[in-house]
Amino acid sequence: MSLIKLLLLSLILSASAFAAPDFAPLKKATGDFIAVVQGLSTEIPKIHDAARTAKAMDSCATATSAVIDAVEDLARKNPELGGASQPPPEFVEMMKSFSTSQIKFQAIGMDLGRLCKQYADDPAVRAAMDKFQQVLVRMQKLGAPQ
């Protein structure tokens, strides 16, 4: 086999090494987060008990954690993205959607904070608050310089 054929064959076999990053898991996690935020914007005014407060906090923590997991997975599978001078267009679009929802989430967070304070003695609310705190720590570490 000639050197050219060998190189072409090896290039074809390793084409997956040159494949574009798979943004589907991050896109799904971001979409799920946005859905949670939108749902909470109508649900929170109806919450008047500890159980529903804990459930709302837990859904926030779970959705946010899924986004962090997807970002970490994408970075682990595509280390070249970390050194890029410009993020890929797919990533920019998703982060715009995520940022817009985070602005809405900040307002929701204030209402959730009020509810958590009101039901702070409830063990389920405390557990959900602890879970959310751990997610926030992960988020800070994600944005920290390496």
Give percent above pLDDT 90 in the chain: 38
Question: What local confidence, expressed as pLDDT, does residue 145 receive?
Answer: 56
For the chain, domain boundaries: 23-143
Mean pLDDT computed over 49-68: 94
User: Would you mind telling me the total number of residues written for the chain in this entry?
Assistant: 146
Residue type for 18, please? F
Q: Which one has a higher pLDDT value, 145 or 35? A: 35
117-122-127-129 Cα dihedral, nearest 10 degrees: -10
137: which 2 tokens?
């720590």
pLDDT at position 23 over 90: no
Q: pTM score, two decimals? A: 0.77
Cβ atoms within 10 Å, residue 73: 14
Buried residues in 109-141 as b, exposed as e (16+ CB within 10 A): beebeebbeebeebeebbebbebbeebeeeeee
- Among residues 64, 30, 80, which one has the least CA distance to residue 133? 64
Q: Which one has a higher pLDDT value, 44 or 13? A: 44
Question: What local confidence, expressed as pLDDT, does residue 115 receive?
Answer: 96
8 A C-beta contact, residue 109 and residue 46: no
How confident is the model over 78-103, as pLDDT tens digits? 887 776 677 677 767 777 776 776 77
Angle at 22 between CA 24 and CA 93, to 5 degrees: 60
Q: What are phi and psi of 22, to 5 degrees?
A: -90, 105
